[in-house]
Structures are given as structure tokens and as C-alpha cells.
Amino acid sequence: MRVNFTVNGRPQEADDVWEGESLLYVLRERLGLPGSKNACEQGECGSCTVRLDGVPVCACLVAAGQAEGREVVTVEGLAGRSGAAEGELSVVQRAFVDAGAVQCGFCTPGLLVAADDLLERVPQPSDADIREALSGNLCRCTGYEKILDAVRLAAARTGEAG
Amino acid sequence: MRDTTPAVPAQARRTTGGIGESTLRPDGIPKVTGEFAYASDLWHEDMLWGFTLRSPHAHARIRSVDVSGALATPGVHAVMTHDDLPAATRYGLEIQDTPVLADGVVRHHGEPVALVAADHPETARRAAARIVVDYEQLPVVTDEKTATAPGAPVLHPGRTDDHAPHVAHPNIVHRQPVVRGDVAAAKARADVVVTGEYEMGMQDQAFLGPESGLAVPAEDGGVDLFIATQWLHADLRQIAPVLGLPEDKVRMTLSGVGGAFGGREDLSMQAHACLLALRTGRPVKIVYNRFESFFGHVHRHPAKLAYEHGATRDGRLLYMTCRIVLDGGAYASSSPAVVGNAASLSAGPYEIPSVDIEALALYTNNPPCGAMRGFGAVQACFAYEAQMDRLAAALEMDPVEFRRRNAMSQGSVMPTGQVVDAPAPVAELLRRVKAMPLPPERQWESAGGAPDVRALPGGLSNTTHGEGVVRGIGYAVGIKNVGFSEGFDDYSTARVRLEAAGSEVVATVHTAMAEVGQGGVTVHTQIARTELGVARVVLHPADTRVGSAGSTSASRQTYVTGGAVRRACEKAREEVFERGRARFGTYHPAWATAELLLEGGKVVTDGGEVLADLADVLGDEAVEAEVEWRHRPTEPFDPHTGQGFGHVQYSFAAHRAVVEVDTELGLVKVVELACAQDVGKALNPLSVAGQIQGGTTQGLGLAVMEEIVVDPVTAKVRNPSFTDYLIPTILDTPAIPVDILELADTHAPYGLRGVGEAPTLSSTPAVVAAVRQATGLALTRVPVRPEHLTGT
């Protein structure tokens, strides 16, 4: 089947999609966007988190056909968002690098999408808010402390800029 | 909070972005934009997808395999079984006992039986399901009793490995005793004797990036393999004989690695992808999903540990005996080295004059076990720290005070007879972790409003508003060796190239070090800046075109490959000075008389006088240096007494855990997990803290969540998914304040101490000690489950 949807603001068309393929497979293998990661394929790890019409979802649990006509934002679409210039790292991306929130980095794309969504909804989140919002994203390297630091840093920088 | 290190060498004094600074990862930006290519992201034109058919049984004879249904599936390009292997049919890190594909017998659930290559991963999966394997199930051995019973099936008959002559039964992989002093005499003098039996479940590394790689057949009959691994050259040494190719025809390049923690030390899909690529003449990619990943790598050894300690009334340890039985599963992997660690580190960071220690690993039909962060020291630490608390209780002493009285220090003698010849600040680490401010009580209470259930055990499940919740505090400290031990030739290779690009000088560092997330790439950049005084450092991709960098494990990479990079830089620097003397020596007498340094792209004297631009000294000709660097040698442990200078370096961490337990439901909330660790020298403090916090969290997982559940009757894995094997989320993980101590080890580059593993040791026993304090229960097994707390 053919699937038409918008990815990171650009219309995309995927051909020869098998009905069983997930949105994640189509993004990674058919559209050349491997930034969203596959680490569990059952919605437990959050590594494939993308925004579907603005809402964070596990792309591994979305059938490709369900994305028809909808808007998807992946990690590749974060740069240039939330006030950053085209191609420039977004505030959240910059904060993850600066705070040491990235080690192996496999969980990072999903966490960035989830954090981006949180800060859009709650610009000055409490620690409990951050933990709740990121609880669907597993990280095995960092012990999450630097990830909390990164989200706090992004919130502070956004607050200063605003 | 950091202590200062001793004198900084002159070359390092005025470097920006050098060692000791929290410089940022060179791969940080591609990792946040999504551009960083992990092994599972690789793509090649005409690429096929490989899939592995695995055994549904833990022990069975294969009567026949019929692949015709799979071969007839449209889109399938190759199916391979043991009969199709071109050369060596077994591999292994130390003992070559692991079949590339099952050869007539499967010895564990999930053992690879056949391979399929197809044009779509789903086609490969479905074709594999059409392979008909006729199994005759065999009795399984699952523990010491069944593995060594009379008439027990011998998993590897006719063993020829070095350990075979020393073991009492062929299902024992390796046994290491350590004896010292006079236990019988000490026992007669003991005022208090405490015994305990402990058990640890099977932990999984659960790195997030599943096993994956891409093999591309080459025109010369060889193969290029792009792979996520911990040690390129160890893979190469095992893969080439399987392919029947000389090593120079198997060219390996490290791809992006999504974590490792020991789980990538053994081969997984490496040889399989190469075999399919050479068979089909097409590039072949294999990516495991999470389910398969649980079968695709070795795990942490489950263990049963029996300990006895005797002490005087005033709290001095007199003796210790222990017996540690590790379940190695179906194949040897690194079990012998894990045994060596468990035995030699079983007394913990304490002075104990008399010991009688025995550690061994079994062959069973359980999943194979091998390397995981902490490597044999984790199991022992859980048991000896529980013993310390029991001893303190028996003596009515404070548990930290009891530990302090027996803490080892520089000059102490290990059970192996090895003198600890570097700082061993065990008492100081305990003091520091105890001195940290405690988190406030009843944090879930808010002024006047409803309680914030997110701060309570059970969290958003809303299972309590504070009723039945009890706080507990626990302490633990551990000792881990750094680097490969027992006489292993543990070296690293580094190549450094300095060249002028216009007025700027670029340093290129080439090693085969596997960056698995630990931040070795950051540290190499910092070392090169420090030693060469240049701002711009480029890291060549890690591959087998340069010599081995050893494994990214055993907390060794910054020490050993970092040491190699440093030495290569020093060699390049000397070459620069030689060249400078030849070219410009007549212009200034300081070239001959002063100590020369490289700073800010210039050759300067130690007084700061500029002699030349580095770019001018280099001219059109690059300076290159390559070294193989070794740490000081170690020696094997005596097979009967365990005596020997077996370890290069020791590292120490201490934890304090604060937990809150819902005693009615058996739910545990870890409120804070503070850590103090001596790192010798923090080359990158931000990365060091990240390592400590990450290791601490894996220890928390082992304490209260993580276990691969293996059916005791069938030896089949029951929970191979992230739905059923739980690792800590951000809600399960507390604040982890870190106190970094830097007491230089003068044997190591920059005085540094390997960081990665020590925090994984003491985290688990600290959490369990806190739960014991909250509940009054003995809790001798990890992970602690709700039913252990409620007795239901």
C-alpha cells in the first residue's frame, strides 16, 4: 500500500508498504529517517517516541497506515524548533549535550521528543513533572540524573529567553 | 564536591579542553540530532536481512533439520545450518566451546540453529518459521546439585581446556580457591561468628541498542563488517577462523554502539552476518529485536554464596570462609575470569587475616553467563556486605563504624597476598557518604493539600498516602579490580598524527577502542589536547586497520587506551622537538637547554617563552607515532592457594541508600542513593559523575527489580521482554548525589582509577540493607520482590 503523511513539515510518500509495517519501520527503512530508535518493539522503552499530530507516541505501536494524512515530528525535526534558527540545535537538544545527558545516546531521540513535548505543555516543570513525563523512556547509561539536569537547564534557558 | 589532585605535570598546565575539564562529547551533537549512525541504522544497496532460528528447548538432540520450506519462500536468498559452515564450527572468548550453529545438540534455550537471509526482515522471520527441526529432548542440569549428580549429563565431554584438569567434575568450568592464614585457629579465638547464605538472580545488561551489524562481501573474497561491539580485535580473532579467512580479509569498523555493559564481549550475530554475506554475495544486515536480544548475549552469573565471618568482641574481623557457586550456563564465555574475580575479591575491602575461599562456575543448561559490569565482584559484594551488617548487629555496633574498624587501606594485604600499593580510602568513602545530608522525611506531604503520590512507594498507582510506609537507611562499600587480571597481556594500541593545515595544527588519534557510551572519545580528545597543546583533535573511526585497543570493559579503557594515546602523543611531541632542534636550534639556545612544551599550537619553554609555531616546525611533513602500551604485568593466581599479584589496580565506591517501604504491599521506593567514589583523577568530571550514577542505577535495578527468570524445570527463559524484565525508569530512580575523591594512583596514567564498575557493586547491598532496616527482614536474595516483604 501507499502511505502519505507529513514528516517534520515535509509531505512524504511511502510505497510498497506491507500492512504489518509500523510507522517506525517506514520512518527508518523507507524514508531514511533512522533517528527514531527500535529498542523493544512493544512500547515499553520509548526510544521510538515521535509526535503524531502533536501527541507523543511510540512509533513502533503505530501501524504505518494509521499515519495516513497526519503530521509526524521525529528527532530529525527538532533542530530549528522552539525558537532556534533553521538547522540550529533546539534548546532541549543543546541542553542534553551541555548537561551530559547523552552517553550511548540510543534513548536520546525518544527522550528529546518527550522532553520537547513536556516543555511545550509545561514550560517550568517541577522535578516530579519531569519524572512523570519521561517515565515512558528507558535509559540504561545515565541513571537519569543528567537527563533531569538537561530538562531543568532547557526550562531555565527558555525562561530566560522568554 | 572534589578533592584536588597532586601536582599537574608542566605539559598539562595551560591547556584548554584538556584533562580534568568537563569538556563535551565529540559525538554529542550527532546523537541529539539523530544523525549518529548506530549499527542498527546501517543501510546498503541490495542489502538482505538476516534472521536466526533458535532452539525452543534447553537441551535436545537434533535428529534432523529440513530447510526446504524456508528455501522455497519467495524473497529468501540463503538458509544455513551447521552443515553449511565453511571452516571452524566453534568459537569462544577463552574456550572455543560455542557452536556457530548447533551441531546436533542444543544446550540452552535460544541457541542458534539456522540462519536465513531474505529481502525483508519479515520474510526472513516467516521463512525461519518454516524450517522443520526434529528435536529429541534431553534431561537438563540447572544447578550444582543436578550438574554434579552421579550420571548427570556432561555438557562438554572430552574437554581439553586449561581448567579441565583442575576441576572435580566436567560440568565445573573452573574453580579457584584462595587460602591464607589459619582459619581454624582464628575461629577458636572469635567472640562472634556469623554465617549467612545468599542468592543473586540472573541480571541482564539490557543495553538499549540491540545487537546489530552489517556485513558487506568484498571483491577480494573477504568481508567488511560494520558492528556494535566492545572489542573489535577479539571479535576478529574469533570470526576469521569461522569464515576460513585470514584476519586481513575480515575488515571491521566500529559502528554506533547503544550501550554494552559486558553484553557485547562475546560474539552474537557477527559471524552469522558474515557467513550469510559470503554465501549470498550480498550485504547482509542482522538486527535483533528485544526478545532475541535476551537470548543473543550472555548475562550476569546468578550465584549462591555461603559466608562465615568471625570477629572479636571489639569488632575486629579474624577470619572469613566462603563458597561462591556461579551458574555459567551452557558455554564457558568468560566464566573462568569471573571465577577469578569472585574468589580474589570475595573478602571485600576489609582486612581479614585468615581466609578460606572457594569460587567456581558451573556448566548447566541455563542461558550462558559471562561479562556484566562488576564481573564476579557484584555477587560477592552483595553477600559480604550483608555479613558486615549482621556482624555489626551481633556486636551491637553501628554498621559504618564496624566497617571502618576493618577497612583496608594502602598497604593492606589482599587474601591473594597482593599488597594494595595505591590509596584505598575505604573508611574515608564511608565517612563521606554518611556525612551527606539526609533527604527530608515524608516528602510526599504538601502544605495542607493531598499527598503527592509520585513521592510514595507505588507512585501513581496511588496505593498509599503514607500509611504503612517505613523509612530505612543502609550502607555498603565494595572493591573492584581494574583491567584484565591474572597475567593477561592487557595492552592497547594508539596512533597519533600531527599535521599542519594552514596555520592550524590538527592532531588525529586512531585507536580501535569501542566507544559504547562511556565517553572514551571525549577523554582521548582531552588527552591529545593536553599532551600536544593543540585545540583541534580529530578521532579516526575505530577499526581493525590499527592494532588492538583491548576491550571496553573491566573499567580499563581510560587507563589502558588512554595510557596508549598519552604515550603516542608524548612520542609525537618528542619527534616535534627533535625536528624543531634540527630546524631552528641555532636560532635560540633554549632549544637545547630548556624543558620544551607544546602549548597553544606553539613550542614554548617551561618558562613560557615561545620558540616556534608548531605549524612551522611541522612544515609539510606530518609527525606520526604509534605505540602499544601496557600496564604493569600481573600474574596468575596459584591454582591451589589463590596467591598471586593478580590485579593491576583496585577501585572503591561506597553508597548510602535511603528507602521507603510500603510494608503492607511490599513496594519499595528508593528515595536517595548517595555515592562516594575515589577515581584517582577525574579526567572528565561530568562523565565520571555520569558513570557513577549509571552504575548506581544498574545496582538499584538488581536490588529490587531485575531478574531473568529461568524455569527451574525446563530451563527456559520466562521473561525475555521489557514488559516482563523491568529496568529502572526515571520514576524508579532517585536522586543520586555523588562525592568524587581524587587520590592519585601513581602507577596509572595521570593517577587515574578505572571508574565504570565500582558503583555497580555497593549500590545493590546498600539498597537491600536499607530495606532490611525498614522491615526487619533478613532478605538474603536479590532482586527483593514484594512477596519477600509481605510474606505472601
Could you read off the pLDDT of B251-295 as tens digits, one per residue?
Answer: 999 999 999 999 999 999 999 999 999 999 999 999 999 999 999
Strand-pair partners of B605: B596
Q: How far is CA A102 from CA A140, A147, B16, B368, B756, in A?
A: 11, 8, 22, 31, 16
What's the CA gap between B409 and B422, in Å, rounded? 9
Domain range for A18 is 3-77
Is there a single domain that holds both residue A95 and residue A68? no
Q: Are strands B649-662 and B469-482 parallel, antiparallel or unpaired?
A: antiparallel
pLDDT in tens, B289-333: 999 999 999 999 999 999 999 999 999 999 999 999 999 999 999
Is there a single domain that holds both residue A155 and residue A100? yes
Is there a single domain that holds both residue B430 and residue B577? no
Cβ distance B681 to B526 under 8 Å?
A: no
Look up residue B245 and give its three cell numbers.
Answer: 579467512
The residue of chain A nearest to residue B455, with distances taken between CA atoms, is A128
Model's pTM, two decimal places?
A: 0.97
Q: How far is A53 from chain B (nearest CA, A)?
A: 20
The residue of chain B nearest to residue A18, with distances taken between CA atoms, is B122
Contacts of B776 (CB under 8 A, 6+ apart): none
Q: What is the pLDDT of residue B1?
A: 43
In a domain? residue B72: yes
Is there a single domain that holds both residue B110 and residue B227? yes
Q: What CATH number is given to the structural domain containing B21? A: 3.30.365.10
Is there a single domain that holds both residue B581 and residue B654? no
What's the CA gap between B194 and B209, in Å, rounded? 44
Is there a single domain that holds both residue A65 and residue A113? no
Is there a single domain that holds both residue B600 and residue B739? no
Inter-chain residue contact A40 with B24, CB threshold 8 Å: no
The domain boundary residue, chosen from B272, B296, B320: B296
Is there a single domain that holds both residue A110 and residue A138? yes
Question: What does pLDDT average to over chain B?
Answer: 97
Angle between helices B520-532 and B557-584 (to 10 degrees): 30
**What residues of chain B lie within 8 A of the CB of A29, using their CB?**
43
Inter-chain residue contact B722 with A138, CB threshold 8 Å: yes
> Of the candidates B555, B537, B415, which has an alpha carbon nearest to the alpha carbon of residue B484?
B555
Determine what percent of chain B is predicted with pLDDT higher than 70: 99
What's the CA gap between B128 and B271, in Å, rounded? 18
The residue of chain A nearest to residue B728, with distances taken between CA atoms, is A138
Q: What is the pLDDT of residue B2?
A: 46
Q: How far is B697 from chain A (nearest CA, A)?
A: 5
Q: What CATH number is given to the structural domain containing A109? A: 1.10.150.120
Q: How far is A68 from chain B (nearest CA, A)?
A: 22
Q: How far is B633 from chain A (nearest CA, A)?
A: 31
Strand-pair partners of B597: B604
Query: Residue B673: phi, psi to the nearest 5?
Result: -140, 90
Q: What is the pLDDT of residue B7?
A: 52
What 8-state DSSP symbol labels residue B290?
Answer: H
Look up residue B413 and give its three cell numbers.
Answer: 594485604
pLDDT in tens, B558-579: 999 999 999 999 999 999 999 9
Is there a single domain that holds both residue A25 and residue A51? yes
pLDDT at B353 over 50: yes
In a domain? residue A85: no
Q: How far is CA B540 from CA B129, B454, B509, B544, in A?
A: 42, 46, 6, 12
Query: Residue B310: phi, psi to the nearest 5?
Result: -125, 145
> Of the candidates A71, A76, A68, A90, which has an alpha carbon nearest to the alpha carbon of residue A48?
A76
Average pLDDT over residues B374-400: 98
Domain range for B502 is 10-36+491-630
Cβ distance B517 to B259 under 8 Å?
A: yes
For residue B611, give the H/E element and its range: strand B610-613
Cα angle vertex A16, ends A15, A22, to 5°? 90
Query: Residue B174: phi, psi to the nearest 5?
Result: -160, 145
The domain boundary residue, chosen from B570, B604, B630: B630
Number of compact structural domains in chain B:
3
Q: For an interface test with A, which of B27, B29, B33 has the most A Cβ atoms less than 10 Å from its Cβ? A: B33
Give the rounded distance of the alpha carbon of B605 from its chain centre. 42
Is there a single domain that holds both residue B504 and residue B532? yes
Q: For an interface test with A, which of B31, B669, B675, B740 has the most A Cβ atoms less than 10 Å from its Cβ? A: B31
Inter-chain residue contact B209 with A130, CB threshold 8 Å: no
Q: Which residues of B284-295 are buried (b: 16+ CB within 10 A; e: fewer)?
A: bbbbbbbbbbbb
pLDDT in tens, B670-680: 999 999 999 99
Inter-chain residue contact A148 with B730, CB threshold 8 Å: yes
Is there a single domain that holds both residue B601 and residue B742? no
Inter-chain residue contact A143 with B727, CB threshold 8 Å: no
Look up residue B411 and give its three cell numbers.
Answer: 598497604
Residue that has been written with the C-alpha cell 557477527 in this structure: B270
Q: What is the pLDDT of residue B5?
A: 46
What's the CA gap between B545 and B541, in Å, rounded? 10
Q: What is the pLDDT of residue A82?
A: 59
In a domain? residue A51: yes
Inter-chain residue contact A102 with B31, CB threshold 8 Å: yes
Q: What CATH number is given to the structural domain containing A68? A: 3.10.20.30
Is there a single domain that holds both residue B558 and residue B453? no
Is there a single domain that holds both residue A95 and residue A138? yes
pLDDT in tens, A67-108: 999 999 999 999 976 566 667 999 999 999 999 999 999 999
AA identity, residue B206: A
Average pLDDT over residues B13-42: 95
Q: How far is B270 from chain A (nearest CA, A)?
A: 19
Angle between helices A145-161 and A108-121 (to 10 degrees): 40
Average pLDDT over residues B189-204: 98
What 8-state DSSP symbol labels residue B407?
Answer: B
Average pLDDT over residues B758-768: 98
Q: How far is CA A16 from CA A12, B120, B242, in A?
A: 14, 12, 37
Is there a single domain that holds both residue B456 and residue B503? no
In a domain? residue B413: no
In a domain? residue B424: yes
The domain boundary residue, chosen from A77, A106, A130: A77
**What residues of chain B lie within 8 A of the CB of A142, using their CB?**
690, 693-694, 697
In a domain? residue A83: no
pLDDT in tens, B70-106: 999 999 999 999 999 999 999 999 999 999 999 999 9
pLDDT at A162 over 70: no
Taken as a whole, chain B contains a residue count of 792
Q: What is the pLDDT of residue B379?
A: 98
Contacts of B586 (CB under 8 A, 6+ apart): none
Q: Are strands B491-501 and B469-482 parallel, antiparallel or unpaired?
A: unpaired
The residue of chain A nearest to residue B373, with distances taken between CA atoms, is A141
Q: What is the pLDDT of residue B503?
A: 85
Contacts of B158 (CB under 8 A, 6+ apart): none
Q: Where are the alpha helices (DSSP H) in B395-519?
A: 399-406, 426-435
Is there a single domain that holds both residue B23 and residue B77? no
What's the CA gap between B365 and B368, in Å, rounded? 8
Q: What is the pLDDT of residue B450?
A: 86
Contacts of B104 (CB under 8 A, 6+ apart): B61, B62, B82
Is there a single domain that holds both residue B719 and residue B744? yes
Q: What CATH number is given to the structural domain containing B52? A: 3.90.1170.50
A-to-B residue pairs, Cβ atoms closer than 8 angstroms: 183
The 3-state DSSP class for residue B282 equals: coil
Is there a single domain that holds both residue A19 and residue A65? yes
Inter-chain residue contact A97 with B32, CB threshold 8 Å: yes
Number of compact structural domains in chain A:
2
> Of the candidates B362, B332, B329, which has an alpha carbon nearest to the alpha carbon of residue B715?
B329
Inter-chain residue contact B40 with A89, CB threshold 8 Å: no
Question: What does pLDDT average to over chain A?
Answer: 95
The residue of chain A nearest to residue B456, with distances taken between CA atoms, is A128
The residue of chain A nearest to residue B515, with distances taken between CA atoms, is A104
pLDDT in tens, B454-472: 999 999 999 999 999 999 9
pLDDT at B626 over 70: yes
**What residues of chain B lie within 8 A of the CB of A109, using their CB?**
32, 34
Is there a single domain that holds both residue B117 and residue B231? yes
In a domain? residue B618: yes
Laid out side by side, the sheet with B491-501 consists of B536-539, B504-510, B491-501, B623-630
**What residues of chain B lie within 8 A of the CB of A39, using their CB?**
208-210, 258, 290, 722
Average pLDDT over residues B28-54: 97
**What residues of chain B lie within 8 A of the CB of A78, using their CB?**
32-33
The 3-state DSSP class for residue A106 equals: coil
In a domain? residue B664: yes
In a domain? residue B173: no
Contacts of A114 (CB under 8 A, 6+ apart): A46, A49, A56, A133, A134, A136, A137
Q: How far is CA B344 from CA B185, B541, B556, B644, in A?
A: 22, 37, 18, 10
Q: How far is A162 from chain B (nearest CA, A)?
A: 23
What's the CA gap between B205 and B513, in Å, rounded? 20
Determine what percent of chain A is predicted with pLDDT higher than 90: 93
Is there a single domain that holds both residue B274 and residue B128? yes
pLDDT at B446 over 90: no
Q: How far is B621 from chain A (nearest CA, A)?
A: 36
In a domain? residue B515: yes
Q: For an interface test with B, which of A94, A97, A104 has the most B Cβ atoms less than 10 Å from its Cβ? A: A104
What's the CA gap between B680 and B743, in Å, rounded? 5
Q: What is the pLDDT of residue B3?
A: 45
Q: How far is CA A37 from CA A49, A50, B86, in A?
A: 8, 10, 35
